[in-house]
Amino acid sequence: MTQAQAQRRIPVIVVLPPRTLLLDVAGPIEVLRRANLIQDRVRFDVRFVGATRALRTSIGLTVSGVAPLPHALPADALIVVAGNVDTFIDGSGTAADDDAHDTMIVDWLRASIRPGHRLVTICSGATLAARAGLFDGYSCTTHYLDCERLAAAAPGAKVLDNRLYVEDRDRLSSAGITAGIDLMLHLIAQFVDHVCALAVAPVAIIATGLIEFIGPEFTRLIPPPAFPGNTPRTLVVLGLAITSVGVLAAPALLRAYGLVARSILAPGGEAELELRVQQLTETRTEALDTGAAEIRRIERDLHDGAQARLVAMGMTLDAAGQIIDSNPDAARALVLEARDASVKALAELRALVRGIHPPVLADRGLADAIRALALDASARISLASDLNGRPPAPVESAAYFAVCELLANVSKHAEARQTWVDIRHTDGMLRIGVTDNGHGGAEPARGTGLSGIERRLAAFDGVLAISSPPGGPTAVTMEVPCALSSPKTSSC
Amino acid sequence: MRVVIAEDLFLLRDGLTRMLQAHGLQIAAAVDNGADLLAAVTADQPDVAIVDVRLPPTFTDEGIRAALAARREVPGLPVLVLSQYVEQLYARELLASGSGGIGYLLKDRVFDSGQFVDAVRRVAAGGTAMDPEVIARLLARNTGDGTLAALSPREREVLALMAEGRSNAAIAQRLVITERAVAKHTASIFLKLDLQPSDDDNRRVLAVLAYLGG
């Protein structure tokens, strides 16, 4: 299944009769909205049509912008006929021209519905379709209080009660109120798939919860299903059976729910790649910037340090050469001066090298380099390491400087008595923990140190996690995916 | 006195050879790698081996490993390790490598040939020559946690020179004080740090280094 595959568009014509029961429209069409939202294989194009441009709904809310009943319907249209009520919220009833509008809709339905169209009636909407003769020879259902009226309107129809919905070929009809949502979920499963229907289902669960909340008066609208042998004993057995099925099925259903949720919420293959490209672009830019800044620093240090001292040494030696015959003592002093300058130049070069790539790190690797660091530190640092090979040099260097920075932070801010450094390599992941028993409260956002480490590690897909509650302890964990090379392969 | 030199850079190897010869030392062998060093110390039985840390084939810490191997091969062999940088980690490993003189110095120290030859002789005689930079870092670390707070500034100077492996006479000369004054300072240092005094120069150095965690 690729993006290239054409999206299937399904025209949905929602017919709003006078005194529309708003829940009949809102619930089922909300299901379609959700379905449009979470997948793009099938798109439901919803239009609302009616006998008038504006109409008053069951709850007294007037809806406007209703399109006129169209002259022709697309061949694959889904026609949804909403139910209506006899009495508005304020107790008022049918208006003078309501009957005329009902008749307009019935006539339009009769004239417009062709084979290939799918007709969906919600609640009492079935009566309008029945009057148009659309259920003749079909099974159908409606709100249980309306079943008689439906049977009277459609003598040729087989009216079934105690059903949430009835599907008979291309005619679908639902029982009262929220049953329309169930019917719509059923259609989603057909048009899209069961996964999508399941994902949309929480809407239906909310609706069911609403009924529970409103109470028994309301739930009576949907009568309890009748079972054969409706005695207390069979009910108990049935109840136990349902409970056991529920208990047994729950884990599997939860797992399925998790899979569905992940398939919907987690980025798909392409989205994941896009994210990855974006992340790589960012970390590469940062790595290059950091590298360039580092090279500038080295250049400056060499220019102002060792280079300048070598120039001075050359001049001093030249001066010594000029006076060596005339004033040997002064020449000797100049030569000694040049020697001291060379010692200083070497010291500066050593410090510079230590900052670029510490010799112990090059010689012995991460664990010994940190051990050497610990020996130079005044704080107490204990090290545990199980590395039996060496990470790639860039990772090793990034990890080393990250630990340096963390240890420097500890000595600057934490007032810790002891710091523990723990280096492990498991499952292709280098994990370094730096924990101190200082006063905590370290925030990555506050200083540039921690975010600098984060950026440095990000170039290797590494991450940093910090836990530092006020009062301590502070635990920083770094993870960098990498392989270790065997310790024997260090020769160059 | 017979010396074996292991240094891979020709200029340095040649320079060291000339300098030591100029001071009356005899060069038994001058080699450029660890394997040849091992062969030379077993064959020539020198009084001291001078070894560069970076040697082929790895150019990492090959010299340290070769020095440690040489001391296993020839127990008590005095070894002086030279390096472009010094690390406490390596100093500890060398100090822990058994008996016999040990030296660990920056290469820059060869600029002062008098001091350098003095260090070579000290190591050959079973003494110690720790680079001032190693000692400075040891002291900095111990100052940080207040261990050396009880010492006076002068006592700290004496302690540093003592830790480098210098004798009382050398310390006196360096600080331009009398040997008796040095003896007074060292006695005070040992008392304050609760160390066992010793007349043996080298045992004294090792006690101080052990105390400082070197």
Q: B58, B87, B110: best mutation site toward chain A, by most A Cβ within 10 Å?
A: B87
* Tokens describing residue A380: 């107490």
Asked whether A124 and A142 are in contact (CB, 8 A), the reply is: yes
CA distance A290 to A87: 73
* Alpha-carbon dihedral B181, B185, B191, B193, rounded to 10 degrees: -170
Counted across chains A and B, CB pairs separated by less than 8 A come out at 60
Q: Which of B57, B58, B144 sits opposite A378 (nearest CB)?
A: B144
Minimal C-alpha gap between A435 and chain B (Å) = 19
Give me the number of domains chain B comprises: 2
Q: What is the mean pLDDT of chain A?
A: 82
Tell me, yes or no, if B87 comes closer than 8 A to chain A by beta carbon. Answer: yes
A491 and B57: CB-CB below 8 Å?
Answer: yes
**Cα A477 vs. chain centroid, distance in angstroms?**
24
Query: Closest-CA residue in chain A for B62?
Result: A363
Token output for A109: 């339905």
Write A251-255 long-range contacts (CB < 8 A, 24+).
none
Q: How far is it, in rounded angstroms, from Cα B20 to Cα A238?
A: 104
Sheet holding B2-6, edge to edge: B26-31, B2-6, B48-52, B79-83, B102-106, B128-130
Closest by CA to A192, choosing from A4, A6, A1, A8, is: A8
Decide if A342 and B111 are in contact by the 8 Å CB cutoff.
Answer: yes
Q: Are residues B114 and B196 in the same domain?
A: no
Distance CA A379, CA A385 (A): 19
Predicted local confidence at residue A244, as pLDDT:
78
In this structure, the answer to whether residues B119 and B56 fall within a common structural domain is yes
CATH of the domain at B111: 3.40.50.2300
My answer on whether B19 and B68 are in the same domain is yes
Which residues lie across from B81 on neighbouring strands? B51, B104
> Where is the domain boundary, B113, B130, B147?
B130
How far is it, in rounded angstroms, from Cα B3 to Cα B5? Answer: 6
pLDDT reading at A379 higher than 80 = no
Structure token digits, residue B64: 């340290």
Residue type, B30: A
Separation of alpha carbons A265 and B196, rounded Å: 72
Q: Compute the average pLDDT of residues B51-72.
A: 89
Query: How would residue A368 be classed by pLDDT, with cut points 50, 70 and 90?
Result: very high
Same domain, B123 and B144: no
Contacts of B140 in chain A (CB under 8 A): 376, 378
Query: What pLDDT is stored for residue B121 in this prediction?
Result: 95
For domain A359-490, give the fold. Answer: Heat Shock Protein 90 (3.30.565)
User: Which of A214-218, A368-372, B77-81, B169-173 bottoms out in mean pLDDT, i.e. has the lowest?
Assistant: A214-218
User: Is the pLDDT reported for residue A294 higher than 60?
Assistant: yes
C-alpha angle A385/A390/A394, rounded to 5°? 115
- The 10s digit of each residue's pLDDT in B153-165 is 999 999 999 999 9
Q: Omega into A17 within 30° of 0, i.e. cis?
A: no
User: CB of B210 within 8 Å of any CB in chain A?
Assistant: no
How distant is the Cα of A255 from the closest Cα of chain B, in angstroms?
54
| Segments making up each domain of chain A, as ranges | 8-226, 272-356, 359-490
8 Å CB contact between A490 and A390? yes
The band of A1, judged by pLDDT with boundaries at 50, 70 and 90, is very low
pTM of the predicted model, to two decimals?
A: 0.55
Confidence tier at A492 by pLDDT (50, 70, 90): very low
A360: chain B residues, CB-CB within 8 Å = 87, 89-90
CATH architecture of the domain covering A8-226: 3-Layer(aba) Sandwich (3.40)
**For residue range A17-70, what is the model confidence (pLDDT) as tens digits?**
999 999 889 989 988 998 898 888 899 999 999 998 888 899 989 898 898 898
| B89·A343 Cβ contact <8 A | no
pLDDT at A274 over 90: no
Strands A55-56 and A62-63: antiparallel
Q: Is A57 helix (H, G, I), strand (E, B) or coil?
A: coil
3-state secondary structure at position A476 = strand
Q: A363–B108: do the CB atoms touch at under 8 Å?
A: no
Give A445's pLDDT tier (boundaries 50, 70, 90): low
Cβ contact (<8 Å) for A350 and B58?
Answer: no
What's residue A234's pLDDT? 67
Check residue A217 and give its pLDDT. 39
Q: DSSP class of residue A413?
A: I
Q: How far apart are CA B55 and CA B51, in angstroms?
A: 9
Q: The tokens of A195 are what?
A: 């996964």
Write the burial class of residue A434 (CB in 10 Å: 0-12 exposed, 13-18 middle, 19+ buried): buried
Q: Domain residues for B112? A: 2-130
Residue A383 backbone phi and psi in degrees, to 5: -120, 135
Residue finishing a domain among B77, B108, B130:
B130
If one compares A143 and A492, the residue with the highest pLDDT of the two is A143
Residue A447 pLDDT grade (very low, low, confident, very high; cuts 50, 70, 90): low
DSSP A421: E
Of B87, B108, B142, the CB nearest to A360: B87
B88:A376 CB<8 A: yes
What pLDDT is recorded for position A202?
Answer: 61
Both B75 and B63 in a single domain? yes
Sort out which chain B residues have CB atoms less than 8 A from A353's CB and list them: 85
B186 and B114 part of one domain: no
Q: Half-sphere exposure of A144 toward its Cβ, with a 13 Å CA cutoff? A: 14
Last residue in a domain, options B130, B157, B187: B130
- Residues from chain A that touch B114, judged by Cβ atoms under 8 A, are none
Say if B140 is an interface residue toward chain A (CB within 8 Å).
yes
Using a CB-CB cut-off of 8 Å, the residues of chain B touching A343 are 108, 111
Measured CA to CA, the distance from residue A357 to residue A394 in angstroms comes to 10
| A235 band by pLDDT with thresholds 50, 70 and 90 | low
- The candidate with the shortest Cα–Cα distance to A35, out of A173, A259, A198, is A198
CB–CB contact B108 A346 (8 Å): yes
Q: Which of residues 380-399 of A touch B (CB under 8 A)?
A: 380
CB within 8 Å of chain B, chain A residues 346-365: 346-347, 350, 353-354, 359-360, 362-364
Tell me if A372 and B87 make a contact (CB, 8 A cut-off): yes
Choose from A363, A383, A407 for mutation: most chain B CBs within 10 A. Answer: A363
Strand pairing category for A118-121 and A78-81 = parallel
Asked whether the bond before A74 is cis by omega within 30 degrees of 0, the reply is no
**How many Cβ atoms are within 10 Å of A443's Cβ, its own excluded?**
9
Record: contact A363-B144, CB cut-off 8 A: no
> What whole-number distance in Å separates Cα of residue B96 and Cα of residue A265?
60
Q: How confident is the model at residue A233 (pLDDT cuts 50, 70, 90)?
A: low
Q: For position A230, what pLDDT does the model report?
A: 52
> Are B58 and A353 in contact (CB < 8 Å)?
no
User: What would the pLDDT profile of A388-429 be if each residue is shown by its tens digit?
Assistant: 899 998 899 999 999 998 888 888 887 888 899 999 999 899
Whether the CB of B156 is below 8 Å from some CB of chain A: the reply is no
Instruction: Evaluate whether B65 touches A363 at the Cβ level (below 8 Å).
Output: no
Q: What are the residues whose beta carbons fall under 8 Å from the beta carbon of A487, sequence distance 6 or more?
A: A388, A389, A390
Q: Which of A339, A363, A379 sits opposite B61 (nearest CB)?
A: A363
Does B197 touch chain A if contact means CB atoms closer than 8 Å? Answer: no
- By the 10 Å C-beta count (0-12 exposed, 13-18 middle, 19+ buried), A326 is classed as exposed
Give the separation between CA A204 and CA A188, rounded to whole angstroms. Answer: 13
Q: Is there a single domain that holds both residue B70 and residue B9?
A: yes
Rounded mean pLDDT, A365-387:
88
* Chain B residues 43-72 with CB within 8 Å of chain A: 57-61
Residue B142 CA: distances (Å) to CA of A376, A436, B214? 10, 20, 10
| Helix (H) or strand (E) segment spanning residue B27 | strand B26-31
- Most confident range (mean pLDDT) of A129-143, A281-295, B134-148 is A129-143
Residues of chain B contacting A490 with CB distance shorter than 8 Å: 58, 60
Alpha-carbon distances of A112 from A102, A170, A221, A346, A370, rounded to whole Å = 15, 14, 32, 96, 82
Does residue B202 register a pLDDT over 80? no
